[in-house]
Structures are given as structure tokens and as C-alpha cells.
Amino acid sequence: MKKIIEKAKFADFVGTLLSDYEVFAPVKNENGLVLFSRISSPEEIFLDFRNSKKPPKEFLFPQVETLFEYEPGKVKVPSVEAIAQRRLFLCVRPCDVKSFLILDEVFDTEEFQDVYYVTRRRNTTILAMGCVDPPSTCFCTTFDEMGPFSREGADAFLVDIGDRFLIETLTERGESLPLESLPDASDEDVQTAEDVEKKAVEKVDRKLELSKLGEKLDGMFESPFWDALHEKCLTCGVCTYLCPTCHCFDISDEALDSKGRRVRNWDSCMFPLFTLQASGHNPRPTSKERMRQRIMHKFNYFYKNYGVYACVGCGRCVENCPVNLDIRKVLEGILSL
Amino acid sequence: MNPYLPRLAKIEKIKIETEDKMLKTFELSFLDESERKKFDFKPGQFCEISVFGKGEAPFGIASSPTEDGPIMFTVNKAGVVTTALHNLYEGDIVGLRGPLGNSYPIELFKGKNIVIVGGGFAFTTLRALTVYMLDNRGEFGEITVVYGARTPGMFLYKEELSDWERRDDLKLYLTIDKPAEGWEGKVGLVPSVLEEVAPSSEDAFAVVCGPPIMIKFTLPVLDKLGFKPEQIYTSLEMRMKCGIGKCGRCNIGHLYVCKDGPVFSYAQLRELPMEY
Amino acid sequence: MEVEAKIREKAKELLESKAVDVVIGFEKGTLPLRSTPAFIRDSSETDRLVWNSFCENNLATYLNKLKGQKVAIVAKGCDSRSVVALAVERQIKREDVFVIGVPCRGMLDRRRIEEAVGFEILSALESDGKLVVKSVDSERTLDREDFLFPSCRSCRHRNPVIYDFLAGEKVEESEVDEFELVREFESKPPEERWEYFKKAFEDCLRCYACREACPFCYCEECFVDSSRPKWIEKGLDETDVQIWHIVRAYHHAGRCVDCGACERACPMGIDLRFLTQKLNKDVKELFGFETGLDPSVQPPLSTFSLQDPDDFK
Amino acid sequence: MAENFEPKIVAFLCNWCSYAAADLAGTSRIQYPPNVRIVRVPCSGRVNPIFVIKAFQSGVDGVLVAGCHPGDCHYQNGNYFARRRFALLKRLLEYIGFDNERLHLAWVSAAEGGKFADVIREVVESVRKLGPIEKLVKRDEVLKDGS
């Protein structure tokens, strides 16, 4: 169904959400960064943003997570209830919503189910919001059925049509949102929303043609392309820590005498310890192997294993790389070989 | 079922395997007996052993599925977890997660001649495979074992090796790098001994585990003996954390050593990039 | 523009004469207001080299990875001090590095520019002290002095301290008190200082961009990566993050040239110079030392003087 | 609360002078508060500032670093390096608003058993006045030790 939320009444709408869900929405913090965080009142929401600095992935796959605590002879797993509250992600961009589907491929396999991720995922309703004015760093339209208004993976979808939002429910979870009191969307509203959508899709013109990518990558493991590419890379963790589809993690124990816990932290293929073995051997010692691994993983290996690229074209790595190593230019370089 | 949750296990027995005391064999038994019954594994699989407060590390299962009771692991003292393990005593509690990974292709090996080539301390899962075949001796053809170590004191499972030497249904060739007094067996590196033993590649499979340098010189010998890549298997070691194909680090090409391995055929490895 | 032409010409000459194996400079970035490091090995490609107000990286950080090669490096004032200090610490051989010095008027902070104009900038043009930024439908002219990086605003070494070739005329040095903000902060009450310290680092991701961007973070194994002993945990615990930053800054006492590369690399916009500038001030006042100015002087923590101040009772 | 608060103090004592002074204080039956836990180091120059910061993070209320008087160092210049290191560390910790009187520095020669006891008493009293440490200490309900 399609309904209308007047912007003036958006705060009330969020108020009703807050009574049923834990709501996570974009917030501008004191240091001026737009991050998704849990809100306690509608006023905290900040909507004049292109996309958040850190992806909302951090609320399904947190940067730090206790797997279990232990005492001598006893292992205590955090109760599932602790992470099973009803939650709602508000105003998530379509690329980030798609990243959840990509993370599902890794964490929600039937052989080994990551209970921490899956519990949160299954209790989260996703209220996405289309990108009316996508920036030049975005290239989401490169990926099939992806774009500033793609609805895949969302329970409901918001379109900003000037002084109001058009909200469209896409799943029954979306239907269960408190929309009864809202007026239905008029044909005119629907038409305006479609125009906004069309304009936005055209704006994302950096569209790469990836059909040949897999076969090119297969043949180029020893290519000198990687020698030229990696030189300026600093092997810091910015591109991986701000990426919505990066899923690598480290497991380590934190202990004090006989008590402690096992913690899962984000990890990065760029870090020295990622593949360093106790013998001192490291199959990926320098930025060359690591940059090659990052590109191969996202655009070759992940595709081979799961049939989808591990990239949604959100542009965060493009914007934040300290040396402006632009992944779009990398892909264009590979495709032109 | 939480795949990251280790089961508690007690160290029943600790045995020092090598003269430099860097390798110890641990026999672990689950605190909860019912876990042992559920723990059915195949030779070649591994487990993640937890030393609480220090971390977790992957170790090949050295005991064979045909041996019930405690599960055997041989640990080389190298990093944080292995050093912590070496500092533990019998009766201490550790965590055990597994069995993980694939195993040697037992079905494929049935009725075939098996050549086992081991080097240094990489004889743990090879022991599991050998004991499994000896306990189901009729199902396999000729078994040839070539096992090399630096010095006589560096062999693992010495008592069993002497038992195997006395068996007539197994050809065992032990070799050490340099002559040592009191040693009558072969002297020489594994690849040269293998060439001398020259097992037939007819209807046979070879399983090779050992330091990279040994593998590098063993492959050409196997090739000369007529072993095709699909007839040669090995078990690889990579840095691992989750052990279940999620934490992203142990990949060779698109395959994860923890989930799609650790056992690979050389036909598979030739298709993958040389990044291990 | 003429500085750019000089850089290109010199680079071409160096490569053609085989004096160097590679020239590290800057080329046009893929985003407006961005230049990106360039590694030029073929003399026909030197036209890729550019010079503008967005050449913000300290290229000296790459010297650690190119040991043994003859390298030419485009260096601003601060970068040239890094070359001196790296040579003093015997990480590079001075004779292996050809310094193409560039007098610098300070680099511009793209994040603050974007925040000031509010629209997404698609192109930018620099002309004598002004910066014209354009989006699809609007345009703004800005005064570059208002958008200098903090380290550039308090910079007293705009001209390279060493160079084998100077691309362009020297600029007048500023007499600004580089530790003015530090002195101001020192006068604040402890609780207020502690609150600022806590808030400054709360967004830290532990992505280590600050470590990787700095020419002086070249340790084989950083103390955060050490497992035996494990000094701090790898997560986002407040004290682990704080200790990471305190010890990282402390490790640069008497080794930091205040180029600001760490701050520019940080994706979360953290005030990283807050700690390093305090140490630079103390090192100057207590031991009379400034990093990277004099190749013959030992860094302060690897030497001592009998007349050092004494806090021990 | 401050009166019965018993601060935990860690003292890094250089083996040749301040550790020997502690011995001397003991053999001379000089009384001093038991709050101090001594870490014996070869020289005050061996004390890495991260030892001090790690101690505070682990909940230690006060740290003393003691070495030989300048000129007496068994290794000639270990204490001179320590002097520079801790001059910078003390000012940096003060700068970030950390209560600086938790870090005490002292030269105590092997013959100064009395001075050693006085220094310990002074450190314990000054840290007792500050109360338990709050800044930089890891507050972690799981990892909190018994006390």
C-alpha cells in the first residue's frame, strides 16, 4: 500500500515507531559526523545527508561483539533475548539495504548460522529511503537491479516528494508498520515520486559494465597491473571499515586472571596480522597482495561463491581513502586490460 | 546451535613427542560424555582448541575415528595459544570446537594403493589416516608410508612407528636428514627416499604433508612416478579464526581452507592462485 | 602553474638520465579537491604530475617501502623535514633520495570547504588566493586562507629545509606562534581538558590510517599488533582507544614534523595533532629541539643532556 | 571515604639503587605503608611509558618510577634517558586532564633506606587524597577483579 506522511507530522510518525521498536536513524553527532545511532526522540534524526559515514551494517554485525564470557569451568553465552529486541532501521539508503542481503550470504548459511547476526537480522524491520540527490561518488547503478531507488531487501520505502514523504510497503513486515492513520497516496503523489525516482537514477551516471570482470580477474593473478595499483595504498583499514559489505572479523580473548570473554572485532585484509602465521610466514605480506585480495574477493571470489558482487557502489571507500585510490578507476583499469 | 561456542574438554594425557620438547600430544575428553558420541569425524579434519584467555587455534585431529575415547592432537609450540597449551597440565580444561573442514577422500581411497609421504611434525592427520586404514585394512590396497624427520628424536608417535615396522601389511620407510649414531634406518631427504622406494602410481593415491620445501621437491618425484595431480592430496595450513568460512582470511582463490579444505587435491590447487 | 611545469621538467630529466628509478609526486585525483600520489617510472609520463592546493599527503611515508631504490620525491616544507628526520633515523640514505622541494602556501581542507558551501562540489579552480567551486547549478568563490588545514595554518616552515631542486620561488615564512592553541588549552581546568580529550577520540575506528599515513610509523610490529605481551585489546573500549592514541603520539615525541598527514588521513576527522603538538611544544621548550631541521642533531629521546630539567624528587 | 581508602601503588624500582634502598629500609626495620607492589627493573631507563599507562588502565591508583641519582647509574646514562622520557610523559598526562599526582618520580640511592620509606609514604598519602583512579582505568564489569 502507498501512504503519505506530511513532513510536519513525520516526528509524530517516528514517535509511534519509538513505542513499538528500537529505532536506529541517521544522527549528526557533536563532531559533525552523520552516523546511524539509536534515537530516543524524533528530533535527533538528521535527514539532510547523502549517506552515513559508517554503514548501518554495524548494528547487525557490530565492530565489537562478545561471543561469550567464561569463568573457570563455565562458558556463558549472552542470552539471545539480549539481542532479539524488535528494531527498526529508519531512512537506510538502498545500497546499505542491499549490503544486508550480501552479508546474509555469509552469515546466514544453513551449515553454520551466525546466531548473533541472524538473531538481529530477523528482528529488524527496514524502512529504506530513496536517494533524491545521489552524489558523484556513488556507482550503485553498476550492479544489477541496484540504484538510488532500488527496493530489494526493504520492508517499506520512503520517497521525499517535497513537503511530504510517500511511504510504500513492500513486505508484510512493512504492512505491520503503524500506517493506518495516514492518508493514502494520491495518483498525483505517486506520479511525483516516480519523477523524482527517474531523475535520481539518471544522476548516477558512473555506470561500469562488469559482465567481463570475472573472466578478466580469473586470468590476471600474476598481472603487472597489481604492481602499479598497490603502490600508493597505505594498507590502512579505512576502505574496509567503512564498507557496508566487508564481513571479515577477528576473534580474540580478553582476560583478567581466570575470568574473561571471547570477543569478535572487525578485521581488515589490509592489516599485517590478517594472514600472518605463527611461523612468521605471511601469504600476503605487502600492499600488493592485500589490494589484490581485496579486489579479487569482492569482484571474483565472492561472485564465484555466492553469485553476487561484494560491493553495492556506495562510494564510501572512494570518498574516504586517504590517498584517493578510487575503486571505480581500479575496475575500469581491469576492464580495459 | 552457536558455531563459535566451544565444548569444554579435559586434558587426559600429555605426552612429549620430540627431543626438543616443542611438540606435545594432548588427549582431550569432553566433560559432557554425550558430546563424544556426537563427535563423529573423518581423518583429515581439524578442531579449534581454545585456551580461555589466550585464544583459539586450529589443530589436525591425530586420532582415528576407529579409536574411541579421548581425541588426540599434537601441538607444536609456536604462538600464543600453542605456548599456553604447552603450559597446561593434565586435568586442565580447554575448549574444543569441531570437527571442522573436509577430510581425506576415504571413499576414493577404498580399494586403492595409498602412498603416505610425511615430513617433520606434519604427521598428525596422516597418523589418523594410517590408523584408520590399518583398522579397516581389508578395504585398502598396499599402504606405503615414507616419513622423514630431522633427527631420530624428532619423529612423532615413535612407539607406533616401531609397531608399524613390524607389520607385514604396511611398508614403512623412516628417514632422517643426516646420519645419527644408533640409527639403522634410511638417511636422506624424503623426496630422494620416495624416489628410491618408487611406489607404483598404478591404481594409487598419494597423500603429502610437510614443510613447503619438502612438498616442492616431492611433487616432481611423484610426477616422475606417474602420479597425476588428481591422485595427489595434501592438507594445507593457513591463519584461521572462525574455522567455518566466515571470517574471510584463510582463502586460496575463492576456496576457504577451513571450509572447502584443509584437504585439497593437486588438481584443485593447480587451478588456484599460488597464494599460501 | 609554473611550479607544476618545473616539477614535470625536472622529473623528466631525472628519469631520462636514470638518476632515479621512480619519481613520487601528485597527479589529478578522481574527485574534485583531491590530488593523489603518483609513482612515475617512465619519463614519457611525467606530464601526469600536477601541483595544487590539494597535494595533502606526506609522500615521505613511501620512502620506507622503496628502500634500495633511487627515488625522487616532491616535498613540501613539512615533507622535506620528514626526509631529514628519516635520514637521521637511518631509515633512508639521503643520497638515494632526490628532493624536489616545493615552497608551499598550505593545503586546503576539502571537508571544511564542502561543509561551508553545502552543495556537492563537482569542479574547482584555483587562481591567486581564490578558489572557485562549482556544482551542477551553483558556484562559490572562497578565500583559500579561510580553509587551510590546521597544521598549515600554524606552519613556520613553508619552504623546504632541504632540496636538491627547488620548483618555484621561496615564499615568505609566517611568524605565527605554532603552539598558540596548545598554550590556550593548557590554561583550561583539568576537567575541561579531560572532557575534550575523551570526546576527541570517541569516534575512533581503530582503522590505523593515522599510523599508515605517517612516515615515522615504520615499526615492523606496531605495539597494538603485539600479542606477546598484548598491551591493549583490539576493540573500541574507551581506554584502549585512548591509550592507543596517547602511546602513538608519545612514540612521535621529537620525531613529528607536524605535517598533519595523520589528521588528514583520519576518516572520522579526529583532532590528532591535539597530542602531537603538545609533545612538539614540550620537546622544543625542554630540549630546544625541532624535528627535521638539522641532519646533524640527534632526536631528543635518543640522547640526553646533563642540564635536562629534573622532575624526579 | 578517602581515609580508609587503601590505594594500590606500583613501584618500578631500578635494581641497583632504589630496589637496594628498599632492601635497606627493610633490614633497617624502617616502617612504610604496605600499599606498594614493587616491580624490579634493571634500570629506570628500562621503564617504558606504556608500563605506566598500562598500570593505570589495570586499576592501579598510583605509580612510582625510581632510579639512581643522575651520575650514579650502573649503566652510566639509563636514568638520563628516563629523566627525558618521564618529563614528557608527565606533562602529556597532565595536558589531557589526567590527575598527574598519581605518577611519582624519585631518585633514591642504595644508601637512602630512609628516603625510600619517606617517598613511599608521600606517594601513598598523596594518592590516598586523590581517591580511587577514574581516568584511563578500564571499567569492565566482566573483567573487574574481585576487589
* Domain shared by B95 and B116, yes or no: no
Nearest to A238 by CA among C256, C273, C107, C270: C270
Binary contact (C190, D97; C-beta < 8 A) = yes
Q: Is residue A52 within 8 angstroms of chain C, CB to CB?
A: no
Below-50 pLDDT ranges, chain C: none
Those residues of chain D whose CB sits closer than 8 Å to some CB in chain C are: 49-50, 53-54, 57, 67, 70, 77, 80-81, 83-99, 104-107, 119, 135-140
* Domain shared by B130 and B224, yes or no: yes
* Domain shared by B84 and B177, yes or no: no
Which chains share 3+ C-beta pairs under 8 angstroms with D? Answer: A, C
Q: Is residue A328 within 8 angstroms of chain C, CB to CB?
A: yes
* Domain shared by B141 and B191, yes or no: yes
Residue with cell 525516482: A197
Cell numbers at A24, concatenated? 536506529
D62-67 β-sheet, strand order? D36-41, D9-14, D62-67, D103-107
CB < 8 Å to C35, chain A: 324
- The confidence band for D1, taking pLDDT boundaries of 50, 70 and 90, is low
Nearest to A96 by CA among A171, A34, A150: A150
The whole-angstrom separation of Cα A134 and Cα C45 is 34
Residue at a domain's end among B100, B135, B155: B100
Poorest-confidence range of A208-212, A237-241, B62-66? A208-212
The whole-angstrom separation of Cα A297 and Cα A310 is 8
Question: What are the helix and strand counts (H, E) for chain A?
Answer: 12, 11
Residue environment code for B64-96, b if the CB has 16+ CB neighbours within 10 A, otherwise e = bbeeeebbbbbbbbebbbbebbbeeeeeebbbb
* Domain shared by B189 and B124, yes or no: yes
Binary contact (A255, D144; C-beta < 8 A) = no
Nearest to D13 by CA among D93, D99, D91, D82: D82
Tally the domains of chain B.
2
* Domain shared by B127 and B56, yes or no: no
pLDDT at position D3, please?
A: 65
Mean pLDDT rounded to a whole number for chain C: 96
- The confidence band for A229, taking pLDDT boundaries of 50, 70 and 90, is very high
Domain spans in chain D, listed from the N-terminal domain onward: 9-129
- Evaluate whether A233 touches A284 at the Cβ level (below 8 Å): no
Which DSSP state fits C108? B
Mutate to test the interface with A, among B2, B54, B77, B271 (most CBs of A within 10 A): B2
User: Whole-model pTM?
Assistant: 0.95
CB < 8 Å to A254, chain D: 143
CB atoms within 10 A of CB B219: 18
Which DSSP state fits A78? P
HSE-up (13 A, CA, CB side) for residue C217: 23
DSSP secondary structure string, A81-103? GGG---EEEEEE-HHHHHHHHHH
C22-28 β-sheet, strand order? C35-40, C22-28, C71-75, C97-101, C165-166
- Evaluate whether C173 touches C158 at the Cβ level (below 8 Å): yes
Mean per-residue pLDDT, D43-57: 97
* Domain shared by B96 and B118, yes or no: no
Mean per-residue pLDDT, A91-117: 96
The whole-angstrom separation of Cα A7 and Cα A5 is 6
- Residue D141: partners with Cβ closer than 8 Å, 6 or more residues away: none
**Fold classified for D9-129:** Rossmann fold (3.40.50)
CB < 8 Å to A252, chain C: 233-234
The whole-angstrom separation of Cα A283 and Cα C25 is 30
Mean per-residue pLDDT, D132-139: 93
Torsion of CA B238, B243, B246, B249, to 10 degrees: -10
Residue with cell 584461521: B240
Q: How far apart are the first and last CA of chain A?
A: 48
Of A29, A232, A265, the CB nearest to C234: A265
HSE-up (13 A, CA, CB side) for residue B273: 23
C-alpha dihedral sign at C73, C78, C81, C86: negative
- Evaluate whether A58 touches A255 at the Cβ level (below 8 Å): no
Mean per-residue pLDDT, B254-275: 95
The whole-angstrom separation of Cα D30 and Cα A310 is 70
- Evaluate whether B113 touches B186 at the Cβ level (below 8 Å): no
Binary contact (A255, B8; C-beta < 8 A) = no
Binary contact (A247, B78; C-beta < 8 A) = no
- Evaluate whether C46 touches C64 at the Cβ level (below 8 Å): no
D76-120 tens-digit pLDDT: 999 999 999 999 999 999 999 999 899 999 999 999 999 999 999
> Pairing state of beta strands A156-160 and D62-67?
unpaired
The whole-angstrom separation of Cα A99 and Cα A310 is 8
pLDDT at position B199, please?
A: 95
Binary contact (C30, A63; C-beta < 8 A) = no
pLDDT at D147 over 50: no
CB < 8 Å to D142, chain A: 66, 69, 259-261
Mean pLDDT rounded to a whole number for chain B: 95
Is B132 within a domain?
yes
With a pLDDT cut of 70, the percent of chain A lying above it is 100
C130-134 β-sheet, strand order? C123-127, C130-134, C139-143
pLDDT at position B263, please?
A: 97
Mean per-residue pLDDT, A64-90: 89
Mean per-residue pLDDT, B173-194: 94
- The confidence band for B276, taking pLDDT boundaries of 50, 70 and 90, is confident
Binary contact (A234, C235; C-beta < 8 A) = no
> Pairing state of beta strands A124-129 and A87-92?
parallel
Cell numbers at C241, concatenated? 582507544
Domain spans in chain C, listed from the N-terminal domain onward: 2-109+148-169+176-300, 110-147
Query: What was the ipTM of the complex prediction?
Result: 0.94
Asked if the bond preceding A322 is cis, omega within 30° of 0, the reply is no
Instruction: Give how far D7 is from chain A: nearest CA, Å.
Output: 20
CB atoms within 10 A of CB B213: 12
A19-44 tens-digit pLDDT: 999 999 999 998 889 999 999 999 99
Touching, B vs D (3+ Cβ pairs under 8 A): no
Chain C, residues 202-231, CB within 8 A of chain A, namely 203, 205-209, 211-213, 221, 225
Cell numbers at D50, concatenated? 606504556
pLDDT at position A81, please?
A: 79
Structural domain span for residue B95: 7-100
CB < 8 Å to D67, chain C: 312
CB atoms within 10 A of CB A336: 8
pLDDT at D2 over 60: no
CB < 8 Å to C214, chain A: none
φ and ψ at residue A27, rounded to 5 degrees: -135, 140
- Residue B223: partners with Cβ closer than 8 Å, 6 or more residues away: none
> Pairing state of beta strands B171-176 and B186-187?
parallel
Q: Residue C303, Cα to own-chain centre: how many angstroms?
A: 25
Asked if the bond preceding D70 is cis, omega within 30° of 0, the reply is no
Is B268 within a domain?
no
